[in-house]
Amino acid sequence: MVFNTGAALLDGIVLAVVSRETDGTYGYKITQEVRTAIELSESTLYPVLRRLQKDECLDVYDKECAGRNRRYYQVTEKGRRQLNLYEGEWRDYSAKITMMFEGGKKHE
Amino acid sequence: MSRWEFMRKLEELLSEISPGEREEALKYYNDYINDGGKENEAEVLESLGTPEQVAAIIKDGLEGNAGEFTESGFQSKAAQNANPVAHYQAPKSYDTNKASSQAKSGMSGGAIAVIVILCIIFSPVIIALCCALFGIMIAIFAVLFALLLSFGITSFALLISGIILVFVGLFRIFFGPLTGLAMVAAGLILSGVGLLFLLLTAFIVMKAIPGLFKGIGYLFDSLFGGKRGVKNG
């Protein structure tokens, strides 16, 4: 990918991925799904999840799975509002960029 | 590195952060390795990076550094510092040309730096050598000039005295033919030797001086112009 991913955009992507699962999802799965969209080293998502958790955008709980407790992440009400904000901003931003690219072509 | 080693090393590296944070982080990465699947354990461990990198990422996050977002994705500065040979992979389609060109220019930059450093270190020697070379050059010029001057003067003197002797000899033939003839002969010999010296002088002017300049030009070329000279120096 040639475009850099800003911190806010990464937060938005993570919140979007987690919000898709109503019962919450876990670190490994989040990482794999985020990696389908942007280049991300496997170990770098932990600080992002931890920060979102501290900011009360994410909730964590442990659920037993295959004989051990797995940590699950769930989007909070605050997280959902934050995600809405990111989605709106992204629509705006991406529409403008698209217009730049495609509008430029028309006038050529 | 086994999973057990990885976790133990990570715990050790996180000893300075608060117990709560440490537990959180260790739980996350332990879960992560579990969820990667037992059969993929080695792969998952490798993709996580070294414990040093992971610890650096965790600590960096605690300090509120979100990390850097670069062309090759999200990257934590701390992790890169922990191990410059990062495991982050560059994008596959994009950037292969750029990477190789960067490597190339980096190498020549390094070579230039090495040369500059060597020049600074050896500057006393280099300056001394340059001074010596300059001195030798001036000496060669002085010698050549002296030779030229002395040959020229010698040939001039010989020719003049030879001609005078011939004229005086011719005049003397009327009073004492033998003495006169001897004088004419001596004058002719002197003139001949004088002509030889004149030829020598002409040779110096025509051949030796241009040759010397050519030689000096070549010397400067190989010292400062050509790459061969730089590398050897």
Q: What CA–CA distance (Å, rounded) separates B50 from B86?
A: 9
Average pLDDT value over all residues in chain A: 89
**DSSP summary character for residue A6:** P
Do residues A43 and B6 touch, judged by C-beta distance below 8 A? Answer: no
How distant is the Cα of A23 from the closest Cα of chain B, in angstroms? 17
Domain A7-106, architecture per CATH: Orthogonal Bundle (1.10)
Q: In this structure, which amino acid lies at residue B197?
A: F
Query: Is pLDDT of B32 > 50?
Result: yes
CA distances from A56 to A28, A60, B11, B115 (A): 21, 10, 26, 56
Q: Among A82-91, B34-43, B126-135, B206-215, which is the least confidently predicted range? A: B206-215
Amino acid B204: pLDDT: 79
Amino acid A108: pLDDT: 52
ipTM: 0.87
> Phi and psi (nearest 5°) for A54?
-70, -35
Higher-confidence residue of B231 and B149: namely: B149
Average pLDDT value over all residues in chain B: 78
Q: Among A92-101, B109-118, B151-160, which is the least confidently predicted range? A: B109-118
A-B interface: how many C-beta pairs under 8 angstroms? 100
| Residues of B within an 8 Å Cβ radius of A | 24-25, 27-29, 31-32, 34-36, 44, 47-49, 53-54, 57-58, 60-62, 66-67, 69-76, 79, 87-89, 91, 94
pLDDT (average), residues A29-50: 91
Judged by a CB distance cut-off of 8 A, whether residue A4 touches chain B is yes
Q: Report helix, strand and coil shares of chain A as percent, to nearest 5.
A: 60, 20, 25
How distant is the Cα of A104 from the closest Cα of chain B, in angstroms? 24
Domain ranges of chain B: 3-89, 94-121, 122-232
How distant is the Cα of A102 from the closest Cα of chain B, in angstroms? 22
Report percent pLDDT > 70 for chain B. 77
* CA-based nearest residue in chain A for residue B78: A44
Pairing verdict, β A25-26 and B68-70 = unpaired
pLDDT (average), residues B57-68: 75
Q: What CA–CA distance (Å, rounded) separates B94 from B141?
A: 62
Contact B57 A44 (CB under 8 A): yes
Q: What CA–CA distance (Å, rounded) separates B146 from B100?
A: 60
